[in-house]
Structure 1
Amino acid sequence: MNNASGSERPPNGSSGASGESLRPAAMPPALFVPVPGGARATELTRGPWTNHVMHGGAICGLLGWAVETEMRRLGNTSQICSRLTVEILSGMPMAPYAVMARAVKPGRRTSVIEAELRAVEAPSRATEPLTGGRLVARASSQWLAPTIPLAASGAHEMSNDVKALPPIPPERADPGAHSEIEYPRPGFNADGVDIRFVDGSTEEPGRGLTWIRLDHELMAGETTTPFGRVASLCDLGAAVGWDYSPSGGAYINTDVTLQLLREPVGEWILFDSATDSTPQGLACCHSEIADQQGRLGWVLQSQVEAPSEMGFPGGMNVAVAARDAAASSD
């Protein structure tokens, strides 16, 4: 197959080849805006389940930013994040959050960094730091120092992985274009990321193959790092490779584990995702991820059947209607 090659990136907040007229003209500056002691979520973090709750990708991105910021505070720039595990403890509205990180083990060859997000009321004055509050999400991360210099490892040479990558489709997907899809705008799925379907889509159950890139900065006023980009995208495997539960409902994931073999290169991440389920209403979505240099790592997401009152995320309504129509015609 051809090597992967991305098309020229449109400016942040603008669309590619499709969905131009459907995207809101005014976009927030980033997924989050820094405030003393934490960060405030913007509308770009909005998820598909409800109009007021953040997408898991944005939560992962913020926790990834927190652990990476702590590494920089420690002056450690030589280590690479090998693993990031995020646990989402409750639904998180678009609101200010206190962000805290600490080094469990700061080391020369390995480091362990933890971070947490706490829900708080906005301070009465903008200069007051966010403090206290209920724990709503947490992360642990493992950082490793490479033992072989990059040039000596031969990583610059084109591998068979690169040669086998599918090309990045020229047309941007617009998850909110269908009349039956109820993605709120602006939102993470439709506006925060740029999605290019290779095989399958977020409206079709089963294995999916999709190139994705973050379309806005993670934190206002900062250039998003390669790790920050992949951390913000890692939750999307559950949308790329979703499937029905045994009772015909939807799954929702409670955690995300991102495992990286190396530092990401470039903006684009390829997700090859599928869901394995059990008759007990439990499942795991597993994704192999790559960038334009080849294999990058994996993502695992623990899943449980969502309560029936939650229904399906907006992007799955079309697939549900098609399934029910097919079943009634049999």
Structure 2
Amino acid sequence: MTVSPTAYFRQLSGTRFEATEATAGAWNPAEQHIAPVIGLLAHLIEQDHAQRGGALRLGSLSCDILGVLPLGEFDVEVSVIRPGRTIELVEAVLTSNGRTGVRARAWLLQTSDTTALAGTSFPDMPQLDSTPEYPFGTTWNGECVNTIEARRDFLGTGRARSWIRTDTALIEGTEVSEQARLIGMLDFANGLVPRVDPLEIGFPNIDLNVSFFRAPSGDWLGLDSTVSFGPDAVGLTESVVHDASGPVGTLSQTLTIRA
């Protein structure tokens, strides 16, 4: 029996990483699922900021997925695009086999106490205990989906409210923030609400954009998701993102629909 890795990545040097079999993708098990990659890039952006003595919080993250990523080794470089004491723009670029695979940009923002103003009109998710268990791995291929424990309240075609978590570490032997770990599950939103059978029609996302009005925490990630397909092979997955305490932000993924 093959034992599954306990982490998605191993860090080989300051900028070089290895993707384990736990990242094996849903569309092609020989390629990485992009979800853990995005969590890794968020972690490296946070780490770079902390090492420079910064105290800003990640407010938004925009990722362009420029191509498929094979399992194995790759490099990540982090750079500051727009430095600042209250607002900063940081970029992380992943290269694999000499080709840029993912480019992520994060806005880091100053924080202060606005408790008296806090509030949102996004509706709450159903309670975790009352949400039915969902066999996520039966719909998709690849080991990465099997690392996810899922619960799903199915509301209709392309519409569901889901809770997910994982006990697979993001990086072997490395502590990461709760926010980076939860960001590493965001890309599963599209796969949790398929409008069609993914064995017949492909609908991979070419980007991922998330904005947080509150930093997420805890083990469980909540996704109140809607998937829409247009008439000319372009689609959109939109989700309100939650943690156990309530809504924290919004997520969007642009889809390319292919037979």
What TM-score do you get using the length of structure 2 for normalisation? 0.89
TM-fit CA distance, 1:69: 1.7
Q: Which residue of 2 aligns with 1:116?
A: 93
TM-fit CA distance, 1:224: 2.6
Amino acid corresponding to residue 150 of structure 2 in structure 1: I
Q: Number of aligned pairs?
A: 255
TM-fit CA distance, 1:264: 0.8
Counterpart selection for 2:102 from 115, 137, 140:
137
For 1:251, what is the secondary structure of its paired residue?
coil
Q: Which residue of 2 aligns with 1:234?
A: 186
Amino acid corresponding to residue 272 of structure 1 in structure 2: D
Counterpart selection for 1:98 from 54, 75, 83:
75
Residue 302, structure 1, aligned to residue 258, structure 2: no
Task: Assess, with a 3 A threshold, how the Cα gap between structure 1 residues 70 and 215 changes in structure 2: closer, same or farther.
Answer: same
Residue 258, structure 1, aligned to residue 210, structure 2: yes
TM-fit CA distance, 1:270: 0.7
Contact 2:234 2:256 in 1 (8 A): yes
Amino acid corresponding to residue 103 of structure 2 in structure 1: R
Counterpart selection for 1:220 from 166, 172, 183:
172
Counterpart selection for 2:149 from 174, 182, 194:
194
For 1:300, what is the secondary structure of its paired residue?
strand
Distance 1:95 1:291 in 2: 32
Larger-Rg structure: 1
TM-fit CA distance, 1:110: 0.7
Amino acid corresponding to residue 141 of structure 2 in structure 1: Y
Contact 2:16 2:74 in 1 (8 A): yes
Amino acid corresponding to residue 113 of structure 1 in structure 2: V
Task: Assess, with a 3 A threshold, how the Cα gap between structure 1 residues 182 and 293 changes in structure 2: closer, same or farther.
Answer: closer
Contact 2:136 2:192 in 1 (8 A): no
Distance 2:163 2:61 in 1: 21
Q: Which residue of 1 aligns with 2:37?
A: 59
Structure 1: 5+ residue stretches without partners: 1-23, 121-132, 309-330
Amino acid corresponding to residue 104 of structure 2 in structure 1: A
Q: Which residue of 2 aligns with 1:268?
A: 220
Amino acid corresponding to residue 96 of structure 1 in structure 2: E
Q: Which residue of 1 aligns with 2:136?
A: 175
Contact 1:169 1:197 in 2 (8 A): no
Amino acid corresponding to residue 104 of structure 1 in structure 2: I
For 2:204, what is the secondary structure of its paired residue?
strand
Distance 2:256 2:69 in 1: 18
Amino acid corresponding to residue 147 of structure 1 in structure 2: S
Amino acid corresponding to residue 111 of structure 2 in structure 1: P
Distance 2:136 2:253 in 1: 22
Amino acid corresponding to residue 101 of structure 2 in structure 1: V
Contact 1:169 1:198 in 2 (8 A): no
Amino acid corresponding to residue 63 of structure 1 in structure 2: L
Contact 1:240 1:271 in 2 (8 A): no
What TM-score do you get using the length of structure 1 for normalisation? 0.71
Contact 2:125 2:161 in 1 (8 A): no
Q: Which residue of 2 aligns with 1:129?
A: none
Structure 2: 5+ residue stretches without partners: none
Q: Which residue of 2 aligns with 1:166?
A: 126
Q: Which residue of 1 aligns with 2:21?
A: 43
TM-fit CA distance, 1:240: 2.1
Superposed structure 1 runs of 4+ greater than 2 Å apart: 24-27, 152-155, 159-162, 169-176, 181-184
Deviations 1:272-307, CA, capped at 9 Å, x for gaps = 11112221111111001111111110110011113x
- Tell me which protein shows more strand as a share of its residues: 2
Amino acid corresponding to residue 206 of structure 2 in structure 1: T
RMSD across aligned positions (CA): 2.5
Amino acid corresponding to residue 167 of structure 1 in structure 2: Q
Task: Assess, with a 3 A threshold, how the Cα gap between structure 1 residues 70 and 153 changes in structure 2: closer, same or farther.
Answer: farther
Distance 1:82 1:45 in 2: 26
